Structure 1
Amino acid sequence: MKTIQSMMEHLYWANSLIAEGMAKQNVSHPDALTLLRHTLVAEKVWLTRLEGKDSFEFVLWASGELQELLHMVKQNEEGYRAYIGKLREEDLDTIVHYRNQSGQPFENSIRNILTHVALHGQYHRGQINRILRMESSEPVPVDFILFKRQ
């Protein structure tokens, strides 16, 4: 449980840092905004599935406004903190049955879903940082070890 909690703490920190970094630099590159929105919507999709609900209403790939995305960062953190706060170690191996956005059925453990959520965002934050660098903006350092050094 401690590893999952640590990875999720990093996710909250990294999401906030990259969104705030983009806001401070007035980043408006549509690909960067789309990637950040995708990351945040995917997190919401997985939380919805973990809560036993359908996630069909969510559009994974679309553009977003930075102020809306900053709000989503906070909403996601609150939602995951509430969900994880109720989990016990033995709950992590519980199997969750869900359908993907195309309606195809799948099942995975809570542990694997939370691990995926934590890792998925790091991939896209890296893509965002590449865009920032290409646009002559400063990349936002969001590596796990930097989080742990604080």
Structure 2
Amino acid sequence: MKIAINDLLEYIQKSNNATIDLLVENKANLPQKAIEIYSHMINAHHVWNARILGKKPFFKVWQTHSVEVFAEMNEENYLISKKILDNNELDKMISYQNTKGEAYQNTIKDIMFHIINHSSYHRGQVMMLVRNAGLEPIPTDYILTKR
């Protein structure tokens, strides 16, 4: 299972990088909502990594960033997630509080799957906003990274 999660993390890393390139190239014509959603996606990944590590996140879930910092943030998230996978069992239970202060527990496996799914969901939203702005979206489907 670790191999599968690692594979999926590599997929979102590649897809996120391609999306970031698109956003940087078209930053003058992007709707603000696309930047906000992409910021949220990167922040959420950061927050989940922090929860697993028992640390306080540096970024807030809906904090907005400039497109110029997306690549650095994405790389840091990826490297931290990889390190988490290398140093922990997937069935390890993580206790954390959500943004409302409510206590929950989930396994690292479930959290990692959520990070991956959340990323795909929001990349899709960003591509729709890119298309609606008259720009050409890029495909970021999993199968395309496997061809």
CA contact (8 A) 2:43 2:63 kept: no
Runs of 4+ in 1 over 2 A off after TM superposition: 25-28
Which whole-Å CA distance do the structure 2 matches of 1:79 and 1:40 have between them? 13
Gaps of 5+ in 2: none
Partner of 2:108: 110
Instruction: Compute the displacement of 1:86 (Å).
Output: 2.1
Note if 1:46 corresponds to 2:44.
no
Instruction: Give the whole-Å Cα distance in 2 for the aligned partners of 1:77 and 1:70.
Output: 11
Shift of residue 24, structure 1, vs aligned partner: 1.8
Q: What value does the CA root-mean-square deviation take over the aligned residues?
A: 1.4
Aligned to 2:37: 35
Structure 1 residue runs of 5 or longer lacking an equivalent are none
Q: CA deviation at 1:85?
A: 2.4
Q: TM-score, normalised to structure 2's length? A: 0.92
1:1-150, aligned counterparts within 5 Å? 1-26=2-27, 27-55=29-57, 58-87=59-88, 91-149=89-147
Shift of 1:62: 3.2
CA distance in 2, matches of 1:85, 1:29: 38
Deviation at 1:77, TM superposition (A): 1.6
Distance, in Å, in 1 between the alignment partners of 2:8 and 2:87 is 17
SS of aligned partner of 1:2: helix
TM-score scaled by structure 1? 0.90
